[in-house]
Structures are given as C-alpha cells and as structure tokens.
C-alpha cells in the first residue's frame, strides 16, 4: 500500500470521506494565556492569537488586515499551553470544527464577524 493510499484509507469511513471542517490559525499570542479550573474541576486555558494578512490594492498600495482568534484548550492540552505559551510567541493551532459565522455590531465600530 502506498503512502497516498494509506492516507485515503485513514481519511475515509465506509468508502466515504469524513465531512469535517477544520481551520489552521497561525499567528502570535496577544497576551499571556489565562489558565483556570471550572467549578467541576476541569482545566481550561484561554488565549488569543493575532494573524496578519497583507494584500495589494489599487495603485501598488498595500493593505494590512489583522484578525483575532480566541482559543480554548482543555484538560492536558490546556495545561501544556499554559506552561509553554507566552505573549508574542508564534503558534499554529489546528481546529477541527464546524464553522458558524456570527455577525455583531458595536456602537462605534463597523460590523464584525465571529466564528
């Protein structure tokens, strides 16, 4: 079995692809992670990742867009994040998820979107 065939086998179930959405977020931590325990004793680590996107607009001008992602890591992963992550450090987060965008408006800001 080739490497490609083994990947296909691992990614299928009953001959069909698993229908999972996932996103990859690469950026820098905005602040130090916040590690806490829930009332039931579960450990959770919250942190925010900032990503930059530069793109060219008309007349050779460039635009910079910053996006912020609030991330929660639970249990042992949360504990590892709290021990190893610091403000300004580069991170890569892979999120297997169903993405549901939600828009909201602030009184003084334009419409924002959250996933």
Q: What is the pLDDT of residues 18-61, one digit of tens each?
A: 556 778 899 999 999 999 999 999 999 999 999 998 888 878 88
pLDDT above 90 for 63: no
Look-up of token digits 């939600």: 102
Do 99 and 21 form a contact (C-beta atoms < 8 A)? yes
Triad 63, 66, 69: Cα angle to 5° = 160
35 Rama sector, left if φ>0, alpha if ψ -120 to 50, beta otherwise: beta
pTM of the shown model: 0.66
pLDDT at 4: 41
Domain 19-114: give its CATH architecture.
Answer: Beta Barrel (2.40)
């Amino acid at each position: 079995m080739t490497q490609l065939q083994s990947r296909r086998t691992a990614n299928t179930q009953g001959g069909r692809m698993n229908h999972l959405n996932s996103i990859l977020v690469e950026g820098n931590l905005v602040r130090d992670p916040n590690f806490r325990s829930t009332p039931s004793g579960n450990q959770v680590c919250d942190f925010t990742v900032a990503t930059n996107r530069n793109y060219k607009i008309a007349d050779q001008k460039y635009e910079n867009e910053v996006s912020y992602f609030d991330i929660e890591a639970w249990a042992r992963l949360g504990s590892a994040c709290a021990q190893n992550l610091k403000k300004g450090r580069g991170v890569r987060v892979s999120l297997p998820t169903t993405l549901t965008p939600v828009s909201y408006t602030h009184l003084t800001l334009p419409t924002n979107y959250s996933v």
